[in-house]
Amino acid sequence: MLNAKASLEAREGDQCTPLHVAAVNGHTAVIQILLSAKAELEAKARLQYTALHMVAQKGHKAAIQVLLAAGASKHTKTNTGKTPLDIARERNLQEIVALLQG
22-32 pLDDT, tens digit each: 999 999 999 99
CA distance 75 to 85: 8
pLDDT interval class at 46 (50, 70, 90)? confident
Q: What percent of the chain has pLDDT over 70?
A: 86
Element (H, E) at 46: none
What is the signed CA dihedral for 85, 96, 90, 39, rounded to 10 degrees? 60
Instruction: Residue 91: count other Cβ atoms within 10 Å of its Cβ.
Output: 14
- The CA distance from 44 to 61, in Å, is 20
Q: What is the pTM of this model?
A: 0.86
Mean pLDDT lowest for which of 10-14, 23-27, 50-54, 95-99?
10-14
- Domain ranges across the chain: 18-101
Dihedral over alpha carbons 15, 62, 89, 53 (to 10 degrees): -20
Average pLDDT over every residue of 50-78: 96
Task: Taking residues 65-76, report their average pLDDT.
Answer: 97
State which amino acid sits at residue 28: T
Which CATH number does the domain 18-101 belong to among 1.10.10.10, 3.40.190.10, 1.25.40.20, 3.10.105.10? Answer: 1.25.40.20
